Structure 1
Amino acid sequence: MTTVALIDTAHWHVPLYLDALEKADVQIVGVSDPTGTTCQSLVQRFHTRCFATCEELLNEVRPELAFVFGRHVDMPQTANLLLDRDIPFAIEKPCGLRAADVRRLAEKAFSKRAFVAIPFIFRLSDTWRIIRNGQVSVKFDHASFRFIAGPPSRYERASTPWMLNREVSGGGPLINVGVHLIDLFLVLSGSEVVAVTAFSTSHINNLSIEDFITVTLQCASGAVGIIECGYTFPSSAQQQREFTFSLRAGDRFLRSVEKGIEVIHDGPAGVVREFKPAEFETDLYYSDFVEHVLAALQENSPTCADFRDATGVLEVVEAAYKSAAEGGRLIRLHV
């Protein structure tokens, strides 16, 4: 049985992990929550102990694995604490506010051969599997991803109002949900992003974070990507968000359709259209992530993503925010 700690649990994704943890062969040996808003329910559910901070928890118990949540601004400090104590951990994206901070974590984790996992959950999804089609990379010609989540008020309801403060969260939908799409594009494209432009708006809710942003990515290969994300979808229990995409990869054109992905390509007798069922409800993949992390730890195998991946994603996020702040100016990377 693996002993597990839940770190800084005032985060809206925590409930998405709990069923899988409850079913797994683990013992929750401690929970930290500086806000005091989640500890009581977690203590009752897992019959464990609550601590005010991660450091207090680690001074009392030594888990074999930690799942780290918390505010984006606090993530590098927590990660350093766990790396210093050689405790394997999974940590929510974006892992910090700046690419430079996460790059230092990547270097430290690499030098220590540390076990680190990051839930870029599209890597565990039907979308990933169908687009890859058994290939390591698909070499996009062009791709467009759109993820429009519910309004900012949902973070207030989840007792995480810090998500609406740019100084603490780092930004709005791009650094929160857009990172998944950037990661998907970076890994599947098989090419380095060399230039970024972006436009954003914050006039809907008048917050320090953006309401909506559109980002264009230019790859060294010549491929172009477009990512759109926002907090503008009028979500309900029945439908919480919009997720759509289309892309060309070699001789295949793929696009999201209802309940799946349509794959279109030329065949001997003309155009062939195939339907591939796919689950687009991304929340469901967090249980898969828990199972993946536990299996990787037990088998000493690579995790789906680590700090090096998060660094590359945040480099694009920073470039996009800089471009948007400067009226869409072209920002060059890796030159």
Structure 2
Amino acid sequence: MEGFMPKKKKTTVNFGVIGLGMGRYHLEGYLKAPNCNLIGIADIDENRLNDCKNRYGIENAFKDYHDLLALKELDAVSVALPNYLHKPVSIDALNAGKHVMVEKPMALNAAEGQEMLETAKKQGLILMLHFNNRYRGDIQMIKKFVDAGEFGDIYYAKTGWVRRRGVPGAGSWFSNKKLSGGGPLIDLGVHVIDMTMYMMGCPKPVAVSGCAVQAFPEYSKYGTFDVEDFASAYIRFENGATMAVEVSWAQNCPSEKQFSEIYGTKAGASLSPLVIWTEQNGILTDIEPKSLRGISQFEHFADCILNKKTPISSAQDGVTMMKILDAIYASSELKREVVIKWE
């Protein structure tokens, strides 16, 4: 048709951030990403809200997140709130027609996570997990080697995050099981299990044996403390691979340590320090590669929205993680291995 001008493809996404504690990190990530336009924020803490509004020059700032979701020009939000609020606020956002990036853990349990996933599917929207470690340069590099077959078959991994003394907000929502879902397993374990599983190629978990204990009950003097402070687990995968896990907020160990190691038939690797163990020309060889530059998960989220891509850290990945965590807690209660059910 003469004079017809095709609609120009959208190149940026309008974002909002709900919760400005951890959400400040999201806020700064969106401001740095070229395909992201931060247009609004929400937090019930008026001082924190005004500080972010003035510091970053954000026009739309609300105490009630529903007012943020009511903005017609808003495309997507980050939900960076205490764990017990992840499900209701994410579902409200999805039902308001907004794409969602939700902080880890996805929810309090797998049932909540599944409800979030089903809502996203129903609305035809993207629900992305903020599994930030997947986007690190070192992890992306190892994943490329694994995907190229350089490690052979990955048959074992071990990972953990242990602290000598590092209980976050004892007496706050962190240490209240109804509000957090658990202790270091759901707080730290979600990070190390996910990033290690990702490097392994995301094998399907089928069974778990775990133990969650509270070795330092004295933290209850600060308020409710009904979660574990240490957990360990052994995860079995459908392809025959296994993973050992250890996490703690408080432990009589030398110091805080985070580690992740994978072992394959051709090579193995550690993230701390970054090294690949292999054999070349019959000689045992240690390779210390230069890490790749990481990926901005905020830029990636916008790209997924603009180009209808599946995120590197999808809602299904979030549900899978919650199934693992649920099974570890169940195994600890039942004192036996628990089979993970898949429908």
Asked whether the 8 Å contact 1:69–1:91 carries over to 2, the reply is: yes
Shift in Å at residue 233 of structure 1?
Answer: 7.5
Asked whether the 8 Å contact 1:63–1:87 carries over to 2, the reply is: yes
Hey, what's the Cα distance between the residues in 1 that align with 2:129 and 2:310? 11
Q: Map 1:283-322; keep pairs closer than 5 Å.
A: 288-322=296-330
Partner of 1:248: 263
Asked whether the 8 Å contact 2:168–2:174 carries over to 1, the reply is: no
Partner of 1:49: 60
Name the TM-score, length of structure 2 as normaliser: 0.82
Aligned CA distance change for structure 1 residues 201 and 118 (closer, same or farther; 3 Å): same
Shift in Å at residue 298 of structure 1?
Answer: 3.1
Partner of 2:339: 332
Partner of 2:248: 230
Unaligned runs of 5+ in 1: 235-239
Q: How many residues align?
A: 317
Shift in Å at residue 274 of structure 1?
Answer: 0.9
Aligned CA distance change for structure 1 residues 290 and 76 (closer, same or farther; 3 Å): same
Q: How many percent of aligned residue pairs carry the same amino acid?
A: 17
Letter in 1 for 2:203: S
Hey, what's the Cα distance between the residues in 1 that align with 2:299 and 2:256? 25
Hey, what's the Cα distance between the residues in 1 that align with 2:55 and 2:72? 19
CA radius of gyration, larger in: 2
Partner of 1:79: 90
Asked whether the 8 Å contact 2:128–2:314 carries over to 1, the reply is: yes
Partner of 1:110: 121
Letter in 1 for 2:297: F
Does 2:212 correspond to 1:200? Answer: yes
1:118 aligned counterpart, secondary structure: strand
Shift in Å at residue 166 of structure 1?
Answer: 1.1
The correspondence for 1:171, drawn from 158, 182, 185, is 182
Q: CA offsets per residue over residues 175-204 of structure 1, 9 Å max, x none?
A: 122112222344424532221111222222
Unaligned runs of 5+ in 2: 1-11
Partner of 2:41: 31
Asked whether the 8 Å contact 1:141–1:248 carries over to 2, the reply is: yes
Hey, what's the Cα distance between the residues in 2 that align with 1:194 and 1:60? 43
Q: CA offsets per residue over residues 218-246 of structure 1, 9 Å max, x none?
A: 12222110111122389xxxxx9521122
Hey, what's the Cα distance between the residues in 2 that align with 1:102 and 1:149? 28
Shift in Å at residue 324 of structure 1?
Answer: 1.8
Hey, what's the Cα distance between the residues in 2 that align with 1:263 and 1:145? 16
Aligned CA distance change for structure 1 residues 272 and 61 (closer, same or farther; 3 Å): same
Aligned CA distance change for structure 1 residues 113 and 225 (closer, same or farther; 3 Å): same
Name the TM-score, length of structure 1 as normaliser: 0.84
